[in-house]
Structure 1
Amino acid sequence: MKNLPRSLLGGALLALLGNAPIYAATSADLARLGNELTPIGAQKAGNADGSIPAWTGGLTQAPAGWSPGHGDPFAADKPLYSVDARNLAQYQQLLPEGQAALIKAYPGYRLDVYPTHRSCAIPTEVAERSKAFAGQARIGADGWRLEQAVGAAVPFPVPQSGIEVLWNYKLRYMAKGRRAQISLLVREKGGALTEVRQWAHEYYPYNDAAVKDSGDTDGMEAKLLYDVLSPSSRAGEMYLVHAFLDKAQSSWIYFPGQRRVRLAPSFAYDNPIAGSDNLYFVDQINMFTGALDRYDFKLLGKKEMLVPYNSFRLVDKANKYEQLIGQDYLNRDVQRYEKHRVWVVEATVKADKRHSFAKRMFYFDEDSWSLLHVDMYDAKGNLWRVQEGSLWADPEIQACTSFEYVSYDLIARRYLADGFTQEGLSLDLTAGQQGRVTDKMFNSNELRRRGER
């Protein structure tokens, strides 16, 4: 692959030392920020053949009539080409293995490739702080915990290891808090569509510039609150999740029939999600969530690939779930792919740990640090699950965001869609700025109070 990190000094040394952050970015590396690199570390220039344009600041002004879930700034674009079973060999080098496997597995599955728009903006404060504090964050002696990172900044804008890329993803800017009505959707083998609809409230303390170190957030990475609306058999259930910087997440469940809040010790790693028919693990939420302690993360470099991007048509509220969720795969007419540069990270389970996925391949957008695609393998090296995420620019928060995620199980030959907002009542990314989502909402007492209303 091109653009391998300057300081890895060979595969043998890396294999010996695993995930250890052997080298930090040099002052010369960091001086590139804001010059040939964007303030958060992407290459400003386009590629050699012009299929990837230069980054010029992203989508900072909302087009007339646009709001989240309504309208497409690039609606006039036409596909450049489509990738399917007939021409897969021509484009396979631009695809993750999982996309090639889906094309081979399902007749009619295709990728419609559109002109590339580098639409992800960077809030001024995040740009300034990422440059100002570049080089300060550290990885702990255990090889995975984050230390000395500040809020509203990418901790490792010039990453030198896979673990640094993972932390850039986990602390990427998405605004301090957001809320939406989201749905988890599964098409049964007999054709019926099942839905779990819920309110999702999300709070990201590290998106606040007031955070000077982890002590300011009580070691917290994120707080999540889910309030189940349907089906009727589960209505009123609530789930509270605290994700930490240095340990596995804690979670609580409220059961309306018992009117009790209980600690949920198994809501982490590869435990199945309720209502997912065992198609979805906890740490697949939002593409990847939870502690980083079970894997070694190897940075393979940066590569040009075809990835889901500018998914405005997918998230449009004119869509209905019955039309979106096909029997074998998501409606291809609403999916948009573009060529972008992505960071590639290989995760393998540590020798003294266990996980159902023995290996994962991650593909991160260089402009936003969003995770766009994950391939997951079993202990025998077989490709098991394939997951992709939506990505679209929201000028309200001056950044890109994601909600919709799709996970395909190649062994069960079924798939699941999560975080879908098209039929939900609200898609509110400024809830944190406007006080509609606050830190006070995310505790077990609040869970109990909401349940007893």
Structure 2
Amino acid sequence: MTRTTIKPPRLGLICLAVAALVGSSVVQAAASDAEAAALGKNLTPIGAEAAANQEGSIPAWTGGMTKAPAGWKPGHLDPFKDDKPLYSIDASNVDKYADKLSAGQIALIKAYQGYRMDVYPSRRSCPVPDFVAEQTKKNATAAKLGGDGWQLEKVFGAGIPFPIPKTGAEAMWNFKLRYTGLGRRAQIAALMPEKDGSYVENKQWAYEMYPFNDPAVTGPADVGSVEAKLLYDVLTPPSRAGEGYLVHTYVDKPQDAWIYFPGQRRVRRSPTFAYDNQVAGFDNLYFVDQINMFTGALDRYDYKLVGKKEMFVPYNSYKLIDKSQKFKDMLGPEYVDRDLIRYEPHRVWVVEATVKPDKRHSFAKRVFHFDEDSWALLQVDMYDAKGNLWRVQEGSLWAAPEVGACITYETQMYDLVARRYVVDNWTAEGEVLDLTAAKDGRITAANFTQSEMRRRGER
């Protein structure tokens, strides 16, 4: 199939202050005291615009979902189940809404018959714990990138590093260190649908720990500069059962990774489990650094902070984690059941990443879209070296009052050339979705070592 050249749409509603800042190659590394004073006032504690938009389609932020609704448990309750779609966007009216869509969203609507986006009332459900607000206020004037423009040199823990970002790399770090709780464990599935309606299923136990989300952390030295620790135990398919993957990502260097092979009973270092190397078992449809929307070092791209725009993004995606759902009913041959994805109008930060002249990556350009209320990455458009749109990835977001944050876990990735898609971190059929596992001691730092990985594989 020949790729169609699709360029990103012109941004609407760009913040003029941001545009002025990013127009120069030299920008201030941190916010001024006067800028930081706006946090918690006309800006939310982590830097979003607190007020409603002019049309009223995006309401004012009033603190988010800080208390659990009656009967709340992840996957067992949709707090907004009574909301009805305001309208749907499909091939018949996509041009009308193009200024609030990404190039990838437009391409999906035009490429697949019946693909639509149901737009619901906007619910600014993401809360911010007090200690995150406090640390973010400190970071605003003190956080600092290294001389290479991407390493995180100075930051206080458990807070957004750059709530008033001046560069694209700062926005990327806001995403990478956003607060989602100290750690979690879950039974997840990565699924690859086939044209005949069947699907390949990769089930895993997933354990994730985010050291910077500990309120006691005061800087990178407290956690050995570790950004995240990830551990995956493969359950299916049978040919890969027993495999294990351990990943440590850092704020100042590329990640480390190890793989356990059950047939050899050995843990081996895996320098290739990074960047655009393929994830095993996905027919070359899924790169390692697409895991969790983006994983790993920032060193291969230059990041431009384009600005902010209003956009329709996946939000309050409680239907995707509904334990009553079955994967076979959620997956279509070409795309996810459109009744399951709720889109809302929200303001997003836009960052354009282009490969550095002395580096390489299969994606020559990526365009990232970050939710202003949580810094979650909700939409990524990925381009090849000829400037053609290649892949489109969307995240999900839902508020979890037990950790006081919005969780971004489930992802969907569409390859417009292969005309196939992959979903990852789906939990609907999993028995466990435990967001407070690290806080309550069910996982600890000791779980994320090579020796523990070997012990788990041999038992």
SS of the equivalent of 1:101 reads helix
Which string of whole-angstrom CA distances, capped at 9 and with x for unpartnered residues, describes residues 15-42 of structure 1? Answer: xx6xxx5443211111100110011101
Moved more, 102-111 or 229-238: 229-238
Q: How does 1:14-413 map to 2 (within 5 A)?
A: 14=25, 22-413=28-419
* 1:5 shift after superposition: 3.9
Quick one: distance in 1 between partners of 2:135 and 2:17? 23
Quick one: distance in 1 between partners of 2:21 and 2:434? 46
SS of the equivalent of 2:92 reads coil
TM norm structure 2: 0.96
Which string of whole-angstrom CA distances, capped at 9 and with x for unpartnered residues, describes residues 360-403 of structure 1? Answer: 00000000000000000000000000000010000100110011
Change (3 A) 1:317 1:10: closer
Contact residue 300 and residue 359 of structure 2 kept, 8 A: yes
* 1:231 shift after superposition: 1.1
SS of the equivalent of 1:400 reads strand
SS of the equivalent of 1:296 reads strand
* 1:4 shift after superposition: 3.7
Quick one: distance in 2 between partners of 1:440 and 1:153? 24
Contact residue 320 and residue 426 of structure 2 kept, 8 A: no
Which string of whole-angstrom CA distances, capped at 9 and with x for unpartnered residues, describes residues 391-443 of structure 1? Answer: 00001001100111000000000000000000111000010110011111101
Contact residue 254 and residue 262 of structure 1 kept, 8 A: yes
SS of the equivalent of 2:390 reads strand
Quick one: distance in 2 between partners of 1:190 and 1:49? 44
Q: Which amino acid aligns with 2:356?
A: K
Q: Sequence identity, in percent?
A: 63
SS of the equivalent of 1:206 reads helix
Quick one: distance in 1 between partners of 2:378 and 2:16? 20
Change (3 A) 1:135 1:445: same
* 1:314 shift after superposition: 1.6
Contact residue 7 and residue 160 of structure 1 kept, 8 A: no
Contact residue 203 and residue 224 of structure 1 kept, 8 A: yes
SS of the equivalent of 1:165 reads helix
Contact residue 4 and residue 300 of structure 1 kept, 8 A: no
Which string of whole-angstrom CA distances, capped at 9 and with x for unpartnered residues, describes residues 235-294 of structure 1? Answer: 111100011111111111111111111111100000010111111100000001100000
Q: Which amino acid aligns with 1:327?
A: P
Which string of whole-angstrom CA distances, capped at 9 and with x for unpartnered residues, describes residues 338-368 of structure 1? Answer: 0000000000001111100000000000000
SS of the equivalent of 1:230 reads coil
SS of the equivalent of 2:71 reads coil
SS of the equivalent of 2:239 reads coil
Q: Which amino acid aligns with 2:70?
A: A
Q: Which amino acid aligns with 2:44?
A: T
Quick one: distance in 1 between partners of 2:62 and 2:297? 35
Contact residue 7 and residue 23 of structure 1 kept, 8 A: no
Moved more, 382-391 or 211-220: 211-220
Contact residue 4 and residue 302 of structure 1 kept, 8 A: no
Quick one: distance in 2 between partners of 1:22 and 1:247? 23
The reply to whether residue 421 of structure 1 matches residue 427 of structure 2 is: yes
SS of the equivalent of 1:134 reads helix
Which string of whole-angstrom CA distances, capped at 9 and with x for unpartnered residues, describes residues 103-135 of structure 1? Answer: 000000000000000000011111122113421
Contact residue 45 and residue 53 of structure 1 kept, 8 A: yes
Q: Which amino acid aligns with 2:218?
A: K
Quick one: distance in 2 between partners of 1:285 and 1:132? 30
Contact residue 47 and residue 163 of structure 2 kept, 8 A: yes
Quick one: distance in 2 between partners of 1:51 and 1:25? 29
Change (3 A) 1:5 1:289: farther
Quick one: distance in 1 between partners of 2:22 and 2:135? 33
* 1:8 shift after superposition: 4.3
SS of the equivalent of 2:369 reads strand
* 1:7 shift after superposition: 7.5
What stretches of structure 1 of length at least 5 have no aligned partner? Answer: none
Moved more, 359-368 or 146-155: 146-155
* 1:6 shift after superposition: 4.5
CA RMSD of aligned residues (A): 1.2
Quick one: distance in 1 between partners of 2:22 and 2:212? 34
Q: Which amino acid aligns with 1:113?
A: V
Q: Which amino acid aligns with 2:185?
A: R
Change (3 A) 1:182 1:9: closer
What stretches of structure 2 of length at least 5 have no aligned partner? Answer: 1-11
Q: Which amino acid aligns with 2:84?
A: K
